[in-house]
Structure 1
């Protein structure tokens, strides 16, 4: 069986990266090795920000590994899953030569990271059967092999579509691409889905990488913390490619507090309330005049097609409701993406759309 590290750029496999003052786990009580200020800042009440932070705090990685069902050495934490996407593209795509495969409509950062690296973006559009979007994994595999792409990005649950790629399809795709490409499953919305995480496939499919984030269900978008989970040797390479000190100490402290004993039940309570509001909002929008289609969703948003999406967008904005205009995405020229809000926020969406096309 081939190893995922074999897909890494040859010039980076033995790349040492930058060794910061916190790379070596030295022990002491007088720290004079990083040119930090010896005097604290008046705003630093906890006396934690005058020192550079641990690049990958062991306690944090252990906590996140427990949360996501993997080993700590299979996980790298960074500035949101956006950083993980960028690290993967930089590590696996030679500038000006590499290629990735995406399945539009999908999250735009895959293409942005690739283009910044000079890598080609090969698109295999999702199939809209009139009721839902589906990923043709055989077509994705064919495209990856034909283009010699080293990365395939699957957003599941999909953004902005709201649908999930079945795990059997992910497994089959990874098997076809073993030794040829990594299959990156972006699970930013996994907490809202009833299906198991692709982390469960890592033991038998080493060329799978899973992205997770604390920004959605855990209500921690402002701390900018996400992870990549995959083969331990690959994670070592990604750490060497990461900029120094990616995790600010105040953000780490907030995450540790949020993921401590007890608060996870509050995450579950939030997601349960979201499930109910998602169903209520979807039912109301299906009955609203001017709405063509509301797609099923296993995320915390709905993709909605309108007779006139501009009129709907403007009416909502005039009422103080900001939704995502996704009309620039392929095949979505009449669609808006609406995040599931609190009951009063959803009531306002329903009221506005009930009146605008009446």
Structure 2
């Protein structure tokens, strides 16, 4: 048994999963094996939704693999990164026994999925430093080894902190946890970051998995297309645990169009614009009275602390600008997270906060 397969729940290592009608490699021109309607719905002009979709659309899977520089067998397509997180927790964690490690303040779905699975949650908070809010890799390693963690979730760039984890630190953690835990690097905002992807570590570290999504840089949040990338044996197990037909045909078709060379070129231009606007908005916020600190960010957002976060939140709402209130999150009782918008939208943020200060 391979080291990565040994991390899977013992009762799921040989689990066959559900065999859907579309999982059978059969040929024919009259399809009567899935109890589908013989006619399209009147509202479905192109008739794309009458048939169940392929569980893993081959063209989309191949294009995503090409985009991320991996083999198709190393990649599983699903309903956004959320499904991938849930699959990893369910496939690896024995309820009440195998824990996960998270680094609050951080994306909440890791803990939600663990809670639903009955997996203990080990928290290793981000550390405040001159450079920002950063993951404590030494503490993460000790917690994972000492408390029986099966999964370690690293959000890089971190949401909401914006900090990224150097790949050499990710690799060192994977080496320390080899045979003990899977290191999951969530790169939902990877397109906006400076460094390379953790997918470059996969050849040397079978206990690393990477999450990517089309929701952010590729502007397909409603299509719900995300992937988990990792060792082919692990991906095969996750696919057997996945519910049937995870990718609707219209969503797969849209994603393929969004990954055309022309669309990717425009996406790269927009990512460059976001990175430029991120710097501009950060500088403007740092000059704004009442802004206590703006954290450097590798994502498409900025985390800022305010002397009066409630006043800032209300001033932005009054100007029609909705931002994410982070005050309920650990360590962030005075903070708001602001997504980088278009230049005009960012100007409205700056104007709303300046007006608030002038009125005060």
TM-score, normalised by the number of residues in structure 2: 0.98
What residue number does 1:307 align with? 307
- CA-CA distance at 1:261 after TM superposition: 2.7
**CA distance in 2 between partners of 1:187 and 1:258 (Å):** 19
Partner of 1:150: helix, strand, or coil? strand
Between the aligned partners of 2:77 and 2:22, the Cα distance in structure 1 is 16
The Cα of 1:2 is off from its aligned counterpart by 5.0
The residue aligned with 2:342 is: 342
Question: Does the aligned pair in 2 maintain the 1:185–1:198 contact within 8 Å?
Answer: yes
1:249 aligns with 249
Per-residue CA deviation, residues 266-325 of structure 1 (Å, 9 max, x unaligned), is 010000111111111000000001100000011100000000111111111111100001
Match in the other structure for 1:42? 42
Post-superposition offset of 1:5: 1.2
Q: In the alignment, what sits opposite 1:168?
A: 168
- Answer whether contact 1:2 1:178 (CA < 8 A) is retained: no
Say what the alpha-carbon RMSD is for the aligned residues: 1.0
Residues 1:78 and 2:94 are matched in the alignment = no
Is residue 56–residue 247 contact of structure 1 (8 Å, CA) maintained in 2? Answer: yes
Residue 14 of structure 1 aligns with which residue? 14
Question: How far apart are the structure 2 equivalents of 1:260 and 1:290?
Answer: 45
Q: After superposition, what is the alpha-carbon deviation per residue over 1:140-179, rounded to whole angstroms, capped at 9, x for unaligned?
A: 0110011111000000000000010000100000000000
Alpha-carbon distance between aligned partners in 1 of 2:236 and 2:203, rounded to the nearest angstrom: 18
Residue 292 of structure 2 corresponds to which residue in structure 1?
292
Secondary structure of the 1:61 match is: helix
* 1:202 counterpart residue number: 202
Give the distance between the partners of 1:68 and 1:5, measured in 2 at CA: 23
Equivalent in the alignment of 1:101: 101
CA-CA distance at 1:260 after TM superposition: 1.6
Hey, what's the Cα distance between the residues in 1 that align with 2:205 and 2:189? Answer: 22
Secondary structure of the residue aligned to 1:312 is helix
The whole-number CA distance in structure 1 between the counterparts of 2:52 and 2:156 is: 35
Question: What is the CA-CA distance between 1:97 and the residue it aligns to?
Answer: 2.1
Residues 124 and 139 in structure 1, CA contact (< 8 A), matched pair in contact too = yes
Instruction: Give me the whole-angstrom Cα distance separating, in 1, the residues matched to 2:326 and 2:97.
Output: 30
- Correspondences of 1:69-148 after superposition (within 5 Å): 69-148=69-148
1:202-237, Cα deviation, whole Å (9 max, x unpaired)? 000110000000001111111000000000000000
Q: Which residues of structure 1 form unaligned runs of 5+?
A: none
Q: Give structure 1 regions of 4+ aligned residues with deviation exceeding 3 angstroms.
A: none
Is contact 1:2-1:179 (8 Å) kept? no
Q: Paired residue for 2:190?
A: 190
Deviation track 1:307-344 (CA, whole Å, cap 9, x = no partner) reads: 01111111111111000011111100000000000011
2:156 equivalent in structure 1: 156
Cα distance in 1 between the residues matched to 2:233 and 2:118: 25
CA distance in 2: counterparts of 1:25 and 1:287, whole angstroms: 62
Residue deviations 1:234-271 (CA, integer Å, cap 9, x gap): 00000000000000000001001111231110010000
CA distance in 1, matches of 2:119, 2:328: 22
Distance in 2 separating the partners of 1:249 and 1:61: 13
Distance in 1 between the 2:278 and 2:158 partners? 16
